[in-house]
């Protein structure tokens, strides 16, 4: 009799502990910009980063190789990488490249002439990028 009672109490208790443990786990961030990688691989220049040697196409390949982007767009001499909620823009700077990160809406407005094939965040059909946003 004690065994049956123990089973009836133990099963709900274990289930509650399991659910409580799962509730504290971080949500999947999808595909965020690799800020830690950028700050360790490139020289900080205010809010931007600089690679004094490599051209934008090489820098974009390095960043994408570390953390794959959802999309890549080459326009004129610039390269744009699309992440979940952000855009990484790599442009020529002196003998190397400047790396700028902007949230998707701000970046799209700033570089709109280059990003015509990417969804406009101000359009009615734009659904955002994060988990559950606009879905």
Share of the chain above pLDDT 70, in %: 69
Give dist(CA 116, CA 93) in Å, integer.
23
pLDDT tens-digit series, residues 60-99: 999 999 999 999 999 999 999 999 899 999 999 999 999 9
Contacts of 121 (CB under 8 A, 6+ apart): 104, 105, 108, 128
Q: Which residue has the higher pLDDT, 116 or 69?
A: 69
Decide if 92 is inside a domain. yes
What tokens does 59 get?
């820098």
Decide if 6 is inside a domain. no
What is the model's pTM?
A: 0.70
Decide if 74 is inside a domain. yes
Q: What is the dihedral of CA 127, 101, 33, 74, to 10 degrees?
A: 80
Decide if 53 is inside a domain. yes
Domains: count for the chain: 1
pLDDT at 30: 60
Decide if 13 is inside a domain. no
Contacts of 76 (CB under 8 A, 6+ apart): 114
Decide if 39 is inside a domain. yes
Decide if 99 is inside a domain. yes
What tokens does 91 get?
């442009």
Decide if 42 is inside a domain. yes
Residue 49 lies in domain: 35-110
């Amino acid at each position: 009799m004690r065994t049956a009672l123990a089973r009836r109490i133990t099963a709900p208790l274990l289930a509650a502990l399991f659910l409580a443990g799962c509730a504290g786990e971080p949500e999947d961030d999808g595909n965020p910009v690799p800020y830690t990688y950028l700050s360790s691989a490139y020289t900080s220049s205010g809010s931007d980063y600089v690679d004094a040697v490599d051209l934008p196409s090489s820098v974009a390949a390095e960043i994408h190789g570390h953390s794959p982007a959802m999309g890549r767009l080459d326009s004129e001499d610039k390269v744009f990488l699309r992440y979940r909620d952000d855009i990484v823009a790599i442009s020529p700077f002196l003998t190397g490249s400047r790396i700028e990160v902007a949230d998707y809406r701000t970046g799209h407005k700033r570089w709109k002439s280059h990003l015509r094939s990417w969804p406009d965040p101000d359009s009615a059909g734009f659904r955002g990028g994060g988990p559950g946003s606009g879905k």
